[in-house]
Amino acid sequence: MPNPEKNQFQRTCVGCYNKQSRNELLRMVLSPQKDIIIDLDSKLPGKGVYICPSQDCLNRALKRKRIISGKDLRAEIIKKLEDKLGALIGLAYKAGKAVSGQTNLQLALKSKKTKLLLLANDIGQNLQKNYLFLANKEGIRHYYIFDSLRLGDLLGSSPRNAVGIKEEKFALKIESYIHQREKFL
């Protein structure tokens, strides 16, 4: 029986030199202007370099001069990941796969229609306790991300304290970007 891991495209991290699936690594390419571009979707033309999504590997690659950049790559990576997260949250909401608003979100949490709960960093204590109680009771994963103004902007509405993602595929993709972002904070 063929090994599914073996059939995946393997790439080597320029920081630690470990081989991994290209889906688990961040890709960087050199633009015609000789700037490094973070390529989260792995769709930009040109030969890229791959790096583990961690501050350690980034520091090693910079120290070994495997990546040479005059700008703060860590900050740029975090910004790209946050932009991607915002786009996914907005897309999920427009597709009807996300819910917001206190009443709607509480109903979705109670009826187990929510797969992932995203809480604003500046959420009030009482509301936070209420959402976390419901999420923990139903076994729903939760993360703190952005502030209420930015969450509202992503949904095209007033400030939001929390957003519930109703579809597992969106939830898994959002979680993967959250985990990558956390490794650089």
Please state, in angstroms and rounded to a whole number, the distance separating the CA atoms of residues 106 and 90.
20
Helix, strand, coil percentages for the chain (3-state, nearest 5): 45, 20, 35
Please state, in angstroms and rounded to a whole number, the distance separating the CA atoms of residues 147 and 162.
9
Q: Is the pLDDT of residue 95 over 90?
A: yes
Could you give the C-alpha distances from 32 to 45, 143, 155, 175, in angstroms and in order? 11, 38, 35, 33
> Which residue intervals of the chain bear CATH 3.30.1230.10?
4-71
- What mean pLDDT comes out for the span 64-92? 90
Please state, in angstroms and rounded to a whole number, the distance separating the CA atoms of residues 123 and 42.
35
pLDDT at 1: 47
- Report the CATH superfamily, name and number, of domain 78-182: Ribosomal protein L30/S12 (3.30.1330.30)
Q: Which residues pair with 59 in a beta bridge?
A: none
> Which residue intervals of the chain bear CATH 3.30.1330.30?
78-182
Residue 22 is classified by DSSP as: G
- What mean pLDDT comes out for the span 38-47? 88
pLDDT at 22: 85
Average pLDDT, the chain: 91
Q: Options 2.30.110.20, 3.40.50.300, 3.30.1230.10, 2.60.40.1250; which CATH number does 4-71 get?
A: 3.30.1230.10
Count Cβ neighbours within 10 Å for each residue of 135-157 and write b for 16 or more, e otherwise.
beeeebbbeebbbbebbbbbbee
Residue 49 is classified by DSSP as: E
